[in-house]
Amino acid sequence: MDFSGKKVLVAGGAGFLGTNLALNLARRGAHLRLTTHRNPLQADFGGAEVLTLDLRDGANCRRAVEGMDYVFLCAAHTSGAAVIRANPLSHVTPNVLINTQMLEAAHQAGVSRFCFISTGAAYPPTGNRAVAEGEMFDGDPHDVYFAAGWMKRYAEVLCRTYAEKIVNPMPTVVVRPSNVYGPYDKFDFAVSHVTAAQIRRVAERQKPLEVWGTGEDIRDLIYVDDFIEGLLAAFATSDPFYTVNICSGRGHSVREILQTILAVDGFTDADVRYDPSRPSTIPVRLMDDGKARRDLGFAPKVPLEEGIRRTLAWYRQNGPRNRL
């Protein structure tokens, strides 16, 4: 898809996914507008227009999308397992406000295409079997993700409504990521996900090296550069409404991920201590990558070891960036 000269909004341009997406779009010649809220940008985007806005406010959403050809909604209130377990509603109210008002503002502004980043956590549990796109509404999300999962599902339904159920529809794309990792991630232990937290602990040679949970939880990891390529491939489809998993299609245990980080970084004498009393989320979450392969010709290119190597190098150069 040719973004050259297109006016593109990346809402949430200071966050992990927003930063990496904006860097990719800048290389493609897009005229970027980025929104930030509490945190400044993490990278230099040259001539990008930057608006500091609270997107929970409808007037700010309208200001953000005005004159844009395409909108990528990366802005979201996120957190780690401890926060999710302690306060399940922490993800709901702010994100419902952002999602609903950004969709309405984009439609009113005549945006040509809108991308919403959903989550694999919204799927119902499928045990050890990878979950496919058509199964999203086959049951409730896992209990720990019940509130946040239904919040994301509601936004997906709205995306379909704007694309298929109204006069003057607005094409929408829903991308469901697995566990994305890489540069510009959140490395603050209070809000980070498991892979970023492990990378920081290894890079800082923490002793003992504490890991929350038993280490047996299974996750599908995808390096952020691969994820952005998959997201943009999905955005280029001609379907008025399109949903797809962007994932690696392979599971790794938390223990395996940590052992890979230790090996890549040469931390041979680590004192690893698993703490089953600390919060984790769900035992297994695997996602099916068949639709992305068939429809988009997409497959990740960066192996786990290489992705971890790149992330460790970035972290050592930049230090912890506690972006929300």
Residues linked to residue 218 through DSSP beta bridges, in sequence order: 253, 284
Could you tell me where the beta strands, DSSP code E, fall in 3-82? 7-11, 31-36, 49-52, 70-73
pLDDT at position 323 is 38
Q: Are 298 and 290 in contact (CB under 8 A)?
A: no
Q: How does 75-95 read in b/e, with b if 16+ C-beta sit within 10 Å? A: bbbbbbbeebeeebebbbebb
Angle between helices 16-27 and 224-235 (to 10 degrees): 60
Q: Are 34 and 73 in contact (CB under 8 A)?
A: no
| Three-class SS state of 69 | coil
pLDDT at position 184 is 95
Q: Which domains does the chain have, with CATH numbers?
A: 7-182+221-249+286-302 (3.40.50.720)
Angle between helices 146-164 and 92-108 (to 10 degrees): 10
pLDDT at position 283 is 84
Q: Which of 107, 103, 119, 190 is nearest to 151 (CA)?
A: 119
Q: Are 59 and 88 in contact (CB under 8 A)?
A: no
pLDDT at position 82 is 61
Q: Which of 137, 145, 100, 168 is nearest to 243 (CA)?
A: 137
- For 153-211, give the DSSP string: HHHHHHHHHHHHSSSS---EEEEEE-EEESTT----TTT--HHHHHHHHHHTT-SSEEE
Here the tokens at position 299 are 């497959």
DSSP structural state of residue 133:
G
pLDDT at position 83 is 63
Q: Are 298 and 244 in contact (CB under 8 A)?
A: no
Determine the Cα–Cα distance for residues 73 and 189; give it in Å rounded to an integer: 25
pLDDT at position 324 is 30
Return the H-helix or E-strand segment holding 109.
none
User: What residue ranges of the chain have pLDDT lower than 50?
Assistant: 322-324
pTM for the full predicted model: 0.94
